[in-house]
Amino acid sequence: MKLHELTIEKANELLKKKEITAQELTEDILNRIDECESKIGAYVTIDKEGALKSAKSTDEKADFTDPLAGIPMSAKDNICTKNLKTTCCSRMLENFVPPYDATVISKLRERNAIILGKTNMDEFAIGSSTQTSFFHTTQNPWDLSRVPGGSSGGSAAAVASDECIYALGSDTGGSVRQPASYCGVVGLKPTYGRVSRFGVASLAATMDTIGPITKNVTDCAIVLSAIAGQDSFDPTSSDIPVDNYLQKLKNDVKGLKIGIPKELLYHEAVSKDVKDAVLNAIKVYEDLECICEEISLKNAEYAMSAYLVTLAAEASSELGQYDGIRYGYRTSSDYQDLKDFYKKTRGEGFGFDVKWHIILGTYLSDEKYYDKYYLKAQKIRTIIKKDFDEAFKKYDFLITPTTPTTAFKIGESSDDPFKMHMNDLCVSIVNLAGLPAISLPCGFSKGLPVGLQIIGKAFDEAGILQVAYAFEQNNDYHTRRIKERMV
């Protein structure tokens, strides 16, 4: 196996045995980036000098007891990195260099992780395809004519093409899990509050989460253990103790009760191939002596509407800070007054999808319509959360498809925001409820990966990782990534 194909666990074993160095590993992955980037376009910023400097420093310390020490990774471009551009893939922040690290980056630096660079994304994380980036479109490593998903598509594509060992993404309505599904890797959305959001450009403050994208479930457990925990800089972060997720992995799920929400599995948007792959995954769990039953999340049909209203209203509020005065893009056109200055700055600095959401969100938040739309969406959100609570009284975990279809062609649905959001059908409902969920490969359709989503109770990341691990140990879908992708 080539160095860039290693997992965190395998790379750490070799580093501890001194069979490889962090510098050799980093150089190999940088060479892999040189080989693949012209085809994939996973990155917007590559810090070759900084990565090699960090690798050399880590080798000098010669302490690889921490599994992340010396392991090259990448971060989505809405996660602040000190002295390294963080643009949110928008013209508005095209040249912004943060003076501080996000908490998740600080935690990884403390563990001597090697930061390779920043990955491409949909502008300000609005999108499901990584086509709305100001810089370029990212291609799916399985089929270069298809999207990698979004908005963390660059992170998922980088992991799938071995341009890093693991990556971080943000998940507001499925933006870690959906691209993980499309790219045939593992993506985890933690419980809201499990991981600090400090230093992450906010999109929808009540739904944003940060999660790992990795090559397998074991690596996902390692990264989550490193980034989870309370943070004094983030008042929404939880003080619930963090598990050692790696130690809790075991191939034993006998007797667990798993519910399958029929409103999601049998939705008309879910393709036959995806449904069949999920049904085959359920058979695996039945063979492992789990009890699997269909259930009803009776208000699931309202989830997408509630999510879209919440997203637009909160995004409109969050994006109001980008005015061209304090930092970021500023119009060079002539303007008549301050209002005209704002109009031209934001009109030129934001892309179509961002402006569409700002305009919609401003309308929905207006005092004339607040009760009719945003308040009603929050009431529906509460009802959906209660539906999950009722389900978890009887079942330990829920299983759904991650996405209704496999990765679609670049250019499809790009002019229809509502149709684009249907890719988030099975994942956005989890963000509304603030629950943890993981996506992992469960099959293939015409050579493209299909993702399985496992949803757990709040703060039961250890549980969903164990259930995912048991499935992974009984198939080879995660290993086929190397053999069957295009690059």
Provide the annotated active-site residues. 76, 151, 175
Between CA 404 and CA 422 the distance in angstroms is: 8
Bridge pairing between strands 397-401 and 72-76:
unpaired
Residue 17 Cα distances to 10, 86, 243, 344, angstroms: 11, 36, 27, 58
Order of all β-strands in the sheet with 166-171? 43-46, 114-119, 72-76, 166-171, 209-214, 186-189, 437-445, 448-455, 397-401, 257-261, 291-295
Between CA 400 and CA 381 the distance in angstroms is: 19
Between CA 230 and CA 371 the distance in angstroms is: 34
Residue type, 125: A
Task: Compute how many other C-beta atoms are within 10 angstroms of the C-beta atom of residue 328.
Answer: 20
- Residue 126 phi, psi dihedral angles, 5° rounding: -100, 105
Q: Contact, 153 vs 129, CB < 8 A?
A: yes
Between CA 194 and CA 238 the distance in angstroms is: 6
